[in-house]
Amino acid sequence: MEEFVVLINEKDEQIGLMEKQQAHVAGLLHRAFSVFVFNSKGEVLLQQRAHDKYHSPGLWTNTCCSHPRDGETYEQAAHRRLVEEMGFDCEIEPKFHFIYKAQLGEQLFEHELDHVFTGFYEGEIKINPEEVADYKWISMEDLIADINENPEKYTVWFRIIFDEYVAKLEYAGND
């Protein structure tokens, strides 16, 4: 099934739809979201992307991220993808949004208005193997250290979004 992203201007006004991979090749600005889910220990849930994804296969990234469909809110899309990728849903809270552009290999670009959400979850995780190869809980301290030591293990967009997350929310060990 073809997936389409919502193309927007910098004011988040919809200007069209485009097939997802085509939008990534063209580097056009589109809607996206990222979710960071935490547990009671303050650890964040990461996923390892499935090894047969068309870009960034096998790399670690935040709990889930994707694109709202036409007519779907950012929050509705985030709940949908939590279930589709990680097999659970939880309450989420919007934190901030920002625009970034990043190159993924030679011919792919992420150019997104990304809405970042956080949530809390302690239950069972049932990953979708078509989307996710593995998952892990990790402390913020260990994650910061590992990203600094091994940035190549993480998706380009996750490193950008994580830097924004730490800068905007001034990580204090309680989020």
Instruction: Cite the active site residues.
Output: 65, 112
Identity of residue 175: D
d(CA 34, CA 74): 9
What is the C-alpha separation between 124 and 146, in angstroms, rounded? 26
120 near 142, Cβ under 8 Å? no
Is 127 in contact with 45 (CB distance < 8 Å)? Answer: no
**Is 36 within 8 Å of 62 (Cβ atoms)?**
yes
